[in-house]
Amino acid sequence: MNNQNKQYRFVTLAVLFIIALGWSSCKVDPILDPNNPSTSGITQNASLGELQNLVVGTEAGMRNNLNTYFDAVSVIGREIYRFSTSDPRFTSDLLGKGSAVLDNNTFYTTNPFGGRYRDVKNTNILIAALQNTKASLSDPQRKAAIAYAKTVQAYELLMVFNQQYENGIRVDVSDPDKLGPFLSKDESLNAIQNLLNDANLDLKGSTVDLPFTTTLYNSKKASDFSKFNRALAARVAVYRKDWALANTALSESFFDLNGSLTDGSYYLYSTGGGDLLNPLFFPLNSPAAEDRVVQPSFITDAEAGDTRLSKAPKRTTTAAQDGLSSDYDFWVYKSNVASIPIIRNEELILLYAEAQAQVNNTSNAVTAINKIRNAASLSNYSGATDLNSLINEILKQRRYSLFGEGHRWIDMRRYNRLNQLPIDRTGDDVWQQFPRPQTEL
């Protein structure tokens, strides 16, 4: 079930709106304001082709500003240094150098926030189009397609939550003239979980196909897309410390203790016309003026023989900037068309280990830990099996297995261990969350 080899071409939403507002047969639909086209055409009478275009545009939009998001959470989580002589904020603001603090009106705060909510808006347009389309859809198909949109919504809202944390997020944004309130941290996570659960009611056990193709999973069957939904639900349940739901969701997902670690859902890239290249790729030994390099403790804290250190090959020359230095390149993505994971089986196995440890199923937790350790050419876990020791080991395995995939900062925060992250320079800070964007104040 590996999605990495699938190739698609993406189009922009601007093109989609032009298609949606274009001609039908020989009749020209009037455009009241050609400089600010309305979405009413596509939300009131979308064809199957226009629904597909909305899905393509939505999934293309999911990739916007990912480099800013991953740079931000990976730098604060002390996984990498992002060196850029053209923008010193990567090594000052994000690392809390001196008196520097996170800015509520700059790119690392506003771009990921705005990008995710733009995609939530796209899914709301898709839902409205599905509710009003005159295309030939059965009621189960319509419900499954809306459930797809809600699943994407939940994921994008989770990405916003990851940075906002105790600030909370808006979940109800369907009416731009009457936005819902900012919810508390717990209310935000609960709402995301409920959105996933609600969507799954129309996916699980469904015998229909989605009325469009998606790049997020390798099957159009609604019942198969439910497995992606449940994988996300397991992640959210672990964040909420709902261990029972986490275990149930995992059992209904594509989790496979003996399966390929790379099976899962990915952001896809290609050199095709109009498509994007992987924004996290830099060639080996790139100049320090513009590079991503590994925070040195990733190397020094590793066990001997861990093959996951291949993600951090040694440079030919030391990269240094702003009082920071590294001898190791960030090499998770080895080409400019490499896929970026959304969620994959290796994470699910580690979520299973964590959930099993939390409900005192020690043997199952250790079995899962050993699957990950053995895959990295390490021997079986031989440490203590009390809960704290198991969580220490699971967090360590997550650090190396999910390196550079946006988890380390979140993992340390949810276990109140941000004070255990390395301080790169005297006086640096480890931030708990990003400020709410100024436009939302």
DSSP state string for 95-123: TT-TT----TTSHHHHHHHHHHHHHHHHH
Q: Give residue 218's pLDDT.
A: 86
Cα distance between the two ends of the chain = 43
Structural contact between residues 83 and 319, judged by C-beta atoms closer than 8 angstroms:
yes
The fraction of the chain above a pLDDT of 70, given in percent, is 91
pLDDT in tens, 22-53: 333 334 344 444 444 457 668 888 899 999 99
Q: Give residue 134's pLDDT.
A: 81
Q: List CB contacts of 78: < 8 A, sequence separation 6 or more.
A: 295, 297, 408, 421, 422, 424, 430
Domain over 13-27+36-276+338-420 is classified CATH 1.10.340.70: no
Q: Is the pLDDT of residue 7 over 60?
A: no
pTM: 0.91
Q: List CB contacts of 249: < 8 A, sequence separation 6 or more.
A: 230, 231, 233, 234, 237
For the chain, domain boundaries: 13-27+36-276+338-420
**Better-scored residue on pLDDT, 26 or 346:** 346
pLDDT band at 347 (very low <50, low <70, confident <90, very high): very high
* Phi/psi of residue 83, nearest 5 degrees: -90, 130
Q: List CB contacts of 405: < 8 A, sequence separation 6 or more.
A: 70, 332, 340, 341, 347
Q: Is the pLDDT of residue 283 over 90?
A: yes
pLDDT in tens, 93-118: 999 999 999 999 999 999 999 999 99
CB atoms within 10 A of CB 19: 18
The fraction of the chain above a pLDDT of 90, given in percent, is 87
